Amino acid sequence: MARVKRGNVARKRRNKVLALAKGFRGSSSKLFRMANQQVMKALRYAYVGRKRKKREFRSLWITRINAAARLEGVKYSTLISSLKGSNVAINRKMLAQMAVSDLASFNKVVASVKK
């Protein structure tokens, strides 16, 4: 069988990993073997972080809605239940944005559901 020289392919692969490791401290950005381990670890953390971000934002929205709703004397769970019951289709992200930036319109939504 003919000998295959992989110089170009191997160098490209190593340079790709080292480019991903740019900004890491010390030998983690200079030496291929160390950089490869750190890049794989970083990519795992990034994957998990993308999933976690969704949970954390939903939790933040719920906290904001609850705080604004309690100013009106309504619990979060009661508010969401009433919204579903009266077929008001506003998601938590929009409710939280209203609670932060436009409290008057949020209070109108709460008042319409209170009835």
| 2 found inside a domain | no
pLDDT digits (tens, 9 = 90+) for 45-61: 999 999 999 999 999 99
pLDDT score at 115? 74
CB 21 within 8 A of CB 39: yes
49 in any annotated domain = yes
Coil, helix or strand at residue 72? coil
Predicted pLDDT of residue 98: 96
Query: What pLDDT score was predicted for residue 79?
Result: 95
88 within some domain: yes
Q: Which domain holds residue 29?
A: 7-114
Which positions of the chain have pLDDT values less than 70?
A: none
Q: How many folded domains does the chain comprise?
A: 1
pTM of the model: 0.78
113 and 83 Cβ atoms separated by less than 8 Å: yes
Distance between CA atoms of residues 20 and 18, nearest Å: 5
| Res 28: pLDDT | 96
Residue 46 falls within a domain, yes or no? yes
